[in-house]
């Protein structure tokens, strides 16, 4: 991470976990464990249904509450969906866009991810845009090309000024929920590649201001090593963000270089 130019962000992705009651219990437990004087931004992204409950329960803790997805249309006949202004109206800042599980199970494409990114930015949200390769794609040696395609399409029509509000999360699909983490070097190589791409598409100033997160079995044990890499500016954490003690240790690990 590089605190001179960009924010360090420790983001949890709760996926389809925790009821409202479990959310309140989590908040009560983490409240007493949160480290003091942390400069990193900390956010827990969760099912939209539990956002208000979590905001109340986490009040005063420095943990923000974010969303896991949103629709690209402002409103309309889209049963079950959530619009950007429903999130901003609650005071939500961060929204995950294009998680590999959404791409895999809910037909999200590079095109719809791009529409969502632009809708999020228009609404004043900070999109955490997820990109990443499958094991087969890594083994075929097309990781860099695939990631370039995913990043470029997600950011199509996004200005340099808007880019300052974009967060990118590199999540190799083979490392998600598998306990297999990319090595710090593998993760750094890809994150550095993403920044180089941003430099070419925009400019050096815009590229160095973007926080690039790593996601994929980040945990209390491996976080410090990953976060020490120059182009890894935080984490998007699934399983370990569900356990207050583990999540706090990852937040602690982001303290290095303070």
Which residue number, 177 or 245, has a Cβ lying nearer to ligand 13P? 177
Q: Whole-number minimum distance, CB 199 to ligand 13P, in Å?
A: 25
Q: Rounded to whole angstroms, how far apart are CA atoms 93 and 112? A: 20
Stretch that binds ligand 13P, among 56-64, 184-192, 231-239, 250-258 (CB under 6 A): 231-239
Pair 13, 96: CB distance under 8 Å:
yes
Pair 257, 3: CB distance under 8 Å:
yes
Residues with a catalytic annotation lie at 99, 171
Q: Which residue is nearest to ligand 13P (CB)?
A: 238
Instruction: Tell me, residue by residue from 194 to 223, as one string, x for binding to ligand 13P by CB under 6 A and - for no binding.
Output: ---------------------xxxx-----
Q: Whole-number minimum distance, CB 141 to ligand 13P, in Å?
A: 24
User: Can you tell me which of 41, 133, 171, 233 binds ligand 13P, judged by CB under 6 A?
Assistant: 171
Token code pair at residue 5: 């130019």
Q: Rounded to whole angstroms, how far apart are CA atoms 117 and 111? A: 10
H runs (alpha helix) in the chain: 20-31, 51-57, 84-89, 100-105, 110-123, 135-139, 143-154, 160-163, 184-201, 204-208, 223-227, 244-253
Q: Which residues contact 189 (CB under 8 A, 6 or more apart)?
A: none
Write down the residue that tokens 């109206």 correspond to: 89
Q: Does 69 help bind ligand 13P (rule: CB under 6 A)?
A: no
Q: Whole-number minimum distance, CB 217 to ligand 13P, in Å?
A: 4
Pair 250, 235: CB distance under 8 Å:
yes
Q: Whole-number minimum distance, CB 139 to ligand 13P, in Å?
A: 20
Q: Which residues bind to ligand 13P, rule: CB under 6 A?
A: 13, 99, 171, 176-177, 215-218, 236-240
């Amino acid at each position: 991470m590089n605190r001179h130019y960009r924010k360090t962000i420790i983001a949890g992705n709760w996926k389809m976990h925790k009821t409202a009651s479990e959310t309140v219990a989590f908040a009560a437990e983490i409240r007493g464990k949160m480290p003091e004087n942390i400069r990193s931004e900390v956010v827990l992204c969760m099912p939209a249904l539990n956002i208000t409950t979590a905001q109340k329960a986490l009040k005063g803790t420095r943990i923000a509450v974010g969303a896991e997805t949103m629709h690209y249309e402002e409103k309309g006949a889209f049963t079950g969906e959530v619009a950007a202004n429903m999130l901003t109206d609650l005071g939500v800042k961060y929204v995950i866009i294009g998680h590999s599980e959404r791409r895999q199970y809910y037909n999200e494409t590079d095109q719809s991810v791009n529409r969502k990114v632009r809708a999020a930015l228009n609404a004043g949200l900070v999109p955490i845009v997820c990109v990443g390769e499958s094991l087969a794609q890594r083994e075929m040696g097309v990781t860099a090309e695939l990631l370039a395609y995913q990043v470029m399409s997600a950011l199509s029509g996004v200005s340099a000024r808007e880019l300052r509000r974009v967060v990118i999360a590199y999540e190799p699909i083979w490392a998600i929920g598998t306990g297999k983490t990319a090595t710090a070097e593998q993760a750094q190589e890809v994150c550095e590649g993403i920044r180089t791409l941003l430099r070419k598409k925009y400019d050096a100033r815009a590229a160095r201001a973007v926080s690039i997160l790593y996601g994929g079995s980040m945990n209390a044990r491996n976080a410090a090593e990953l976060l020490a890499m120059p182009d890894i500016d935080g984490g998007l954490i699934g399983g370990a963000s569900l356990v207050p003690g583990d999540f706090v240790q990852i937040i602690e690990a982001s303290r290095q270089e303070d």
